[in-house]
Amino acid sequence: MALQWVKPWIALVFGLSAAHSETVMIPDMTSIGSLYDSKLQILSAGVSPTHNGQVCSTWGNYHYKTYDGDFFQLPYTCNYVLSSLCKSSSGYEAFNIQLQRGEVDGLPTITKVSLKLDGTFVELANGNVSVNGLHSSNTDVPTLIPTVELDSKFQNQTCGLCGDFNGVQIYDEFIRNGTNCPQQTNETAFTVLGDIVKCGKTDIETCLRSVTLVTPESMMIVIEASGRVFVNKMFSQLPLFMADVRIFQPSTFYIVVHTSYGLRLEVQLTPIMQVYIVASSSHKDKTQGLCGDFNSIQADDFRTINGLVEGTAVTFADTWKNKAGCPDVAQSFEIPCSLSVENERYAKHWCSMLSDREGIFSQCHTEVNPNYYKDVSTRF
């Protein structure tokens, strides 16, 4: 498994053992191969008072210092994005560094650091290192005190608690990049990603190409529109039964992913790929993303990754992009069915089932007027 960048990332995350330290502690990583090279620069000396203008760090009693040199304190035990490449227009690979603190013997301690680079996930927690869900052995993981140093090519392209790396302190850090993220991720954190691509003549004609589930153990499950399933980038035949996840295909139309932590994915393959996410009540008020925060309050569903509530779907959705190269969505007032006869015919066929007096929804008509939902579905 070619993970040449992992060891430098480990060194980057461990950073300095204290603000005055002169060396970086790197664990023995021989158990996961000979690893070298790095996508980012590694700090190997003490932090200067100015942070060199390229370094972000966190230490002690919830203290943080951004790339641009601003100090702040955030006394919470949430899972936070420390730094992420989110505004790249130059083709650099996206990276994402997250951390979570907890209290150990009454003292604030960094309990988990998660890294993502080019689809590979590394997690440091409880003295262990895991790569794409596979745990390495014989690793002596020291106390986690993350320190991140970036090359100047990433300037004005980052977001997270480390700020936007544009040389402007305070205002740009907190207002534009939402340093005070309010959401907390629990012990069974998971992520569901949808890869939506253009599949028509216009930008608003899109298709779902794949669905990815990242489990709490950082295992990555990808379901493609073709029906192929990959686990940690390896093709897998169905049915598939693992410790906390079961994947099976009850028919040629659907693939179902069932987990032990209250999450179920129903992935429709034909006639077009769609995904239905079913979360148990244990996740109420604990989710975030395009599906909302699951708190039974519709008014705050357009909550961005920065914690702000937007007024339109477009501005809300743009903050939840997972790929740095994905362009912002342009505001459009066109009705998709007006773009082609094929779209209109397709919409009328399927949406008319809602109001069909002899159809499967006919028994619901006495309780719910189907005309409104029929009109909405034909527009979108």
Indicate the average pLDDT of the chain: 74
What is the average per-residue pLDDT within 243-259?
Answer: 92
- Unique residue bearing structure tokens 């003549």: 201
Same-domain status, 199 and 113: no
| pLDDT for residue 310 is more than 90 | no
Q: Which residue type, as a one-letter code, is found at position 83?
A: S
Residue 237 lies in a domain: yes
The predicted pLDDT at position 27 comes to: 37
Domain that holds residue 166: 6-177
Question: At 196, is the pLDDT very low, low, confident or very high (cuts 50, 70, 90)?
Answer: confident
| pLDDT for residue 150 is more than 80 | yes
**φ, ψ for residue 21 (rounded to 5)?**
-70, 150
Angle, helices 370-379 vs 341-351, to 10°: value is 160
The predicted pLDDT at position 266 comes to: 95
Same-domain status, 142 and 202: no
Question: At 274, is the pLDDT very low, low, confident or very high (cuts 50, 70, 90)?
Answer: very high
Q: In what order do the strands lie in the sheet with 254-259?
A: 240-241, 245-251, 254-259, 263-268, 274-279
Q: Which residue has the higher pLDDT, 368 or 77?
A: 368
CB atoms under 10 Å from CB of 306, counted, come to 19
| pLDDT for residue 159 is more than 90 | no
The predicted pLDDT at position 141 comes to: 53
Same-domain status, 171 and 218: no
The predicted pLDDT at position 180 comes to: 31
Tokens matching residue 16: 């300095």
Same-domain status, 243 and 366: no
Same-domain status, 158 and 226: no
Same-domain status, 142 and 48: yes
Instruction: Write down which residue in 177, 208, 225 finishes a domain.
Output: 177
Residue 221 lies in a domain: yes
**CA proximity to 347, closest of 314, 379, 312:** 379
Same-domain status, 106 and 233: no
- Unique residue bearing structure tokens 């209109």: 344
Q: Which residue has the higher pLDDT, 6 or 251?
A: 251
User: What are the start-end ranges of the H helices in the chain?
Assistant: 6-14, 171, 177, 313-318, 341-351, 370-379
Residue 367 lies in a domain: yes
Residue 24 lies in a domain: yes
Q: Is the whole-model pTM more than 0.95?
A: no
Q: What angle do CA 203, 206, 209 make, to 5 degrees?
A: 135
Same-domain status, 259 and 352: no
Q: Are 336 and 348 in contact (CB under 8 A)?
A: no
The predicted pLDDT at position 112 comes to: 85
Same-domain status, 25 and 164: yes
Q: Are 318 and 331 in contact (CB under 8 A)?
A: no
Integer Rg of the chain from CA: 23
What is the average per-residue pLDDT within 229-234?
Answer: 89
Give how many domains the chain has, as a whole number: 3
Question: At 230, is the pLDDT very low, low, confident or very high (cuts 50, 70, 90)?
Answer: very high
Q: Which residue has the higher pLDDT, 15 or 375?
A: 375
> What 3-state DSSP class applies to 345?
helix
Same-domain status, 212 and 102: no
**CA proximity to 154, closest of 98, 80, 83, 97:** 83
The predicted pLDDT at position 137 comes to: 54
Q: Are 96 and 115 in contact (CB under 8 A)?
A: yes
Q: Which residue type, as a one-letter code, is found at position 50?
A: T
The predicted pLDDT at position 44 comes to: 29
| pLDDT for residue 3 is more than 50 | no
Q: Which residue has the higher pLDDT, 18 or 13?
A: 13
What is the average per-residue pLDDT within 33-58?
Answer: 49
Sign of the Cα pseudo-torsion (60, 306, 156, 150, in order)? positive
> What 3-state DSSP class applies to 347?
helix
